[in-house]
Amino acid sequence: MESKQIDEFLSSWCKGVIEIGKTHLEGGDFNQRAVHFLSTHYAFDEMDVLFKPTFTKQAVFRNNIKDALSYFVGGDISEDNGFALKPWEDIQLEELNLLLKTDLTVAMGTLNFKPYDSEETTLVAFTFIFVRVDEGLKIQVHHSSPVS
């Protein structure tokens, strides 16, 4: 894997989160958009995934697609308000550190999330461990937390 491929993936991930919220605002099928986002960016369909979302306290980990979907758009977990439904106007990659090894690719960095209705942003630190699926990448391990 090369850094250009990671940059393209992260750009797609950011756009995907924004599109879920935009679809919700426009009254569209945001749930289906979120399922597509998860299938495109996470390896739930192919293998076990470890997922620690940014804002979780009661159910800290979301290691299956149903629980991940709940985090992004709301669902069975009571603390979930739909992270992607905020909605976010812009998500900027602020910092990126990569480990590009033959059998392991890790991205660690920060993303700055700006909602539609506010000038205040939320800085989030993330770690993604990628696997190759077909010709593309998917996340197998996702850990993120707010930077305070």
Residue 83's φ and ψ, nearest 5 degrees, are -50, -45
What residues are paired with 9 via a beta bridge?
A: none
CATH of domain 3-146: 3.10.450.50
53-96 pLDDT tens trace: 999 999 999 999 999 999 999 999 999 999 999 999 999 999 99
What residues are paired with 107 via a beta bridge?
A: 98, 128
7-28 pLDDT tens trace: 999 999 999 999 999 999 999 9
